[in-house]
Amino acid sequence: MLRFFIVCIANGILFGMLDGFINANPLAQKLFTVYKPIAKEGINVPLGTAIDLAYGLIMGLIFLLIHEALPGDSGIVKGLVFGAIAWFFRVFMSVMTTLMTHKVPAKTLVYVALTGLAEMLIIGLVYGAFLRPVNI
């Protein structure tokens, strides 16, 4: 149980760090100017941290719940598959919705899709490398 909390909290922190890197780098800032008219001036760091930690815990729980159903013999493969599934539901569907409903340049959507894929694969890899279901 302690291992679960350590891994999930670490992944929550990693989530926040990756989001910061993905969204605050110069290329992202240039690509995301399309959102400037509706973007907030700053972010609520305590709330964002709490949300990322919650994501880390919830995603870790989901990973363990579906662990046996994920393809692959190793935790690494299962983690990568989990990351790809999370990317589809978290990032890809959002990008497709944005494509259909907003005037956002294709290069911005491609950036979001690709960086989101990298982020979810990294997050999944950590779960796969360090979490194992407990046999009761």
Q: Which residues constitute the domain of residue 28? A: 2-130
Ordered mean pLDDT values, 10 residues apiece, the chain (136 residues): 94 95 95 92 91 96 96 96 98 97 97 98 97 81
Q: What is the pLDDT of residue 136?
A: 62
Q: Are 84 and 121 in contact (CB under 8 A)?
A: yes
3-state secondary structure 32-83: HHHHCCCCCCCCCHHHHHHHHHHHHHHHHHHHHHHHHHCCCCCHHHHHHHHH
Tell me if 82 is assigned to some domain: yes
Q: What is the pLDDT of residue 83?
A: 98
How many angstroms separate the Cα of 102 from the Cα of each of 9, 98, 99, 105? Answer: 34, 5, 6, 9
Q: Spell out the residues 6+ positions from residue 67 whose beta carbon is closer than 8 angstroms to its own.
A: 78, 131, 132, 133
Q: What is the pLDDT of residue 135?
A: 72
Tell me if 87 is assigned to some domain: yes
> pTM of the predicted model, to two decimals?
0.92
The total domain count for the chain is: 1
Tell me if 31 is assigned to some domain: yes
